[in-house]
Structure 1
Amino acid sequence: MASSIQYAVIGLGRFGSSLSKELTELGHEVLGIDRDEEKVDEMSDILTHSVVADATDEEVLRSLGVRNFDCAVVAIGDNIQASIMAAILLKELGVKTVVAKALTDQHGKVLEKIGVDRIIFPERDMGIRVAHQLVSPNLLDFIELSKNYTIAELVVSKRIAGLTLKELDPRARYGCSIVAINKSEDMIIAPTADDILQENDVMVVIGRKDQIDDFESEAIR
C-alpha cells in the first residue's frame, strides 16, 4: 500500500467530512479543522486529529503546524471570503499542495489566480472520488459501483509500459480486472491477454477498492 501522507482538511461540512473520512480509511493522517465545535466533535473519533479553529487566522494555522502537512484542502462550504483567505495563508505558509473547493466559477478563478494547486467543484467531484485522486497520482477517475466494487481509470506508467496484460496479470495478482484500454488512437473494449500497454494509455479497471489501491500503488507507480 502507499505510504501515509498528512492531510489538513479545513471545513468539516458534508464535502469536507466525506473527503477526510475517506482519506483516513485509505490509511492517511488527517487533521480536521472547523469553527463549529459540533462538527469537530462528530469527527473526533474518526480523524487522526480534529480541532476547533479559525483557519483565516495566520497565527492559528502556524500554531497547528499546517506548513508541515503534505496537502491542505480548503473545504469551507458557505463563505467565499474565508475560503480565499485560508487558501492565501496556506500558500504563504508554504504548504506543499493546496487544494480548494470552489462554490462558483468566479470563486474558482480567484483561487486559480492566488496559486491554488487544484480547484474542485463539488457538483462535479464527490468527496470520495477526490480522496482517491489525491492519494493515487495515476488515478484519473473513480466511480463506486456498489458498497464493495468500484471502477477506476488508471494511467499506464513507465514502469509497466511494454508489458502485455498476460505479463501484468492484475486478476491473479490483485484480484482486479482490466476491462478496457483507452489508447490515443483507439479504445479497446475487453482487451485480450496479448494486448500491449503503452505509456499514458488509460486502463479501465474493475474490482474492490482495496484491490485497485494495491494494484495502483504496488504495480503501477
Structure 2
Amino acid sequence: MDKQYAVIGLGRFGGSICLEFQKMGCEVLAIDKDMNRVNDFADIVTQAVQADSTDEKALQSLGIRNFDHVIVAIGEDIQASILTTLLLKEEGVSGVWVKAQNDYHAKVLSKVGADRIIHPERDMGTRVAHLVSSHKIIDYIGLSDDHSIIEIEVTEKLINRTILDIDVRANYGCNVIAIKRGNDFKVADIARLVLQKGDRLVLIGLNKNLTQFEEQGV
C-alpha cells in the first residue's frame, strides 16, 4: 500500500507541501480550520476537510492514526501547533513533522514528541545568505551547524583534471559525492572521471573545509 500523508495547516508552507505531494502522486489529507482554505485545495489533494486539530475527537474521526506521516504546518498559533503535535503522538502517529516558529517553540515540540522539527524561514535564510555571498556556489544545503552540502561549478583550474588529481579529501578535508554533467548525475566511479567545462561538483563536509575548497580549490 502506498504511504498516506496528512497536512495540517494550509497556509503558504502547508499549501506548498500539498502541491508537491500532488505532483508526486501521493495520497494526501489536507486539514485546516478555515473553510476557504479547505475549498482551495479540495480539487488538488485526495481529501480536504475542515477540522480543529486541537480536538482529539476530530482527529480520531479522521482516522489520523492510519497515516504514515502527518505534517503540522500551523502558522502563528504556537499553542495549537504544540497541542496538535501532542495529540498526534498520543494517537500513535509514527512520523510527526512540525514547523517551528522559533527555537523555544522547537524545544517544546521536541519535548512533546515531534519526530522532526522544520525551520523553513531560518533554513531558507541560511541558504540564500550562502548563495548570495559566493559567486561560485550554485546550491547549498545545511545539514547541521557544522556540516553542509554544496554544489559548485568546475572552473578552468579543474578542467581536464580528475578527483584523484585534485585529491579533495586529503587537501581540503571534504568529499566529492557526485558530479553533475548536463542532465546526468554521476555518483559511481567518479574518481577518475576527467572534468569538463560546465561540470558541477557536489561536495559534503565541514563548513570550514568547504569554504577552504571554494577559496583555494576552484
Amino acid at match of 1:195: I
Matching residue of 2:2: 4
Matching residue of 2:56: 58
The correspondence for 1:89, drawn from 87, 90, 101, is: 87
Amino acid at match of 2:55: D
Matching residue of 2:196: none
Matching residue of 2:161: none
Matching residue of 1:20: 18
The correspondence for 1:69, drawn from 55, 67, 70, is: 67
Under a length normalisation based on structure 1, what TM-score does the superposition of the two structures give?
Answer: 0.59
Distance in 2, Cα, partners of 1:45 & 1:151 = 34
Looking at CA atoms only, which structure, 1 or 2, has the larger radius of gyration? 2
Under a length normalisation based on structure 2, what TM-score does the superposition of the two structures give?
Answer: 0.60
Cα distance 1:115–1:186, how it changes in 2: closer, same or farther (>3 A)? same
RMSD: 3.1
- Kindly provide the CA deviation profile for residues 77-121 of structure 1, in whole angstroms up to 9, marking residues without a partner as x: 010000000000000000110000001110000001111000001
- 1:30 is paired with a residue whose SS is strand
Structure 1: gaps (5+ residues)? 127-149, 154-181, 197-202, 206-221
Structure 2 residue 30 is matched with structure 1 residue 32: yes
Cα distance 1:110–1:45, how it changes in 2: closer, same or farther (>3 A)? same
- 2:122 is paired with a residue whose SS is coil
CA contact (8 A) 1:152 1:204 kept: no
Shift of 1:21: 1.0
Distance in 1, Cα, partners of 2:139 & 2:105 = 31
CA contact (8 A) 1:4 1:27 kept: no
Shift of 1:125: 4.6
Cα distance 1:8–1:193, how it changes in 2: closer, same or farther (>3 A)? closer
Shift of 1:187: 2.9
Matching residue of 2:145: none
Matching residue of 2:110: 112
* Residues 183-202 of structure 1 mapped to structure 2, 5 A cutoff: 185-188=173-176, 190=179, 194-195=189-190
CA contact (8 A) 1:151 1:204 kept: no
> How many residues matched?
147
- 2:101 is paired with a residue whose SS is coil
- Kindly provide the CA deviation profile for residues 102-151 of structure 1, in whole angstroms up to 9, marking residues without a partner as x: 0111000000111100000121356xxxxxxxxxxxxxxxxxxxxxxx97
Shift of 1:186: 3.2
Identity, in percent, stands at: 51
Distance in 2, Cα, partners of 1:183 & 1:94 = 44
Cα distance 1:45–1:113, how it changes in 2: closer, same or farther (>3 A)? same
Shift of 1:152: 9.5
Structure 2 residue 34 is matched with structure 1 residue 48: no
Distance in 2, Cα, partners of 1:101 & 1:94 = 19
Task: Please identify runs of 4+ aligned residues in structure 1 that moved more than 6 A.
Answer: 150-153
- 1:124 is paired with a residue whose SS is helix
* Residues 65-214 of structure 1 mapped to structure 2, 5 A cutoff: 65-125=63-123, 185-188=173-176, 190=179, 194-195=189-190, 204=202
Larger relative CO (CA 8 A, sep 6+): 1 or 2?
1
Amino acid at match of 1:12: L
- 2:120 is paired with a residue whose SS is coil
Amino acid at match of 2:48: S
Cα distance 1:110–1:152, how it changes in 2: closer, same or farther (>3 A)? same
